[in-house]
Amino acid sequence: MSYPAPSAVAELLKPITWFLPVWASSCGVVASGQSLDGRIARVVAGVLLAGPAVCATSQAVKDWFDRMSMP
């Protein structure tokens, strides 16, 4: 089994677009007004994973369906 080239993965996942979900997650944490005592690692992990988990997967799915709908 061969793996795709890192440049192909980066092109598909479009890391430049990850800023907004990360920013929105950070704003949500602040806006919640909850204490971060004992949860800082979980919050940081959630904020950092927001880009790849939310934005990158939706970009990959969108590109997949765009390619499938082309004649």
Each residue's pLDDT tens digit, 29-57: 999 999 989 999 999 999 888 888 888 88
Other Cβ atoms less than 10 A from the Cβ of 22: the count is 18
- Residue at token pair 């800023």: 19
Has residue 37 been placed in a domain?
yes
Alpha carbons within 13 angstroms on the beta-carbon side of residue 14 total 15
- Whether 1 is covered by a domain: the verdict is no
Burial of 71 (0-12, 13-18, 19+ CB in 10 A): exposed
The answer to the question of residue 50 being in a domain is: yes
Residue 19 lies in a domain: yes
Query: Model pTM?
Result: 0.67
Q: Is the pLDDT assigned to residue 65 strictly greater than 80?
A: yes
- How many distinct structural domains can be found in the chain? 1
Q: Please, which residues have CB within 8 angstroms of residue 21's CB and are 6 or more apart in sequence?
A: 50, 51, 54, 55
Q: Is residue 5 part of a domain?
A: no
DSSP 55: I
Domain span at 57: 10-68
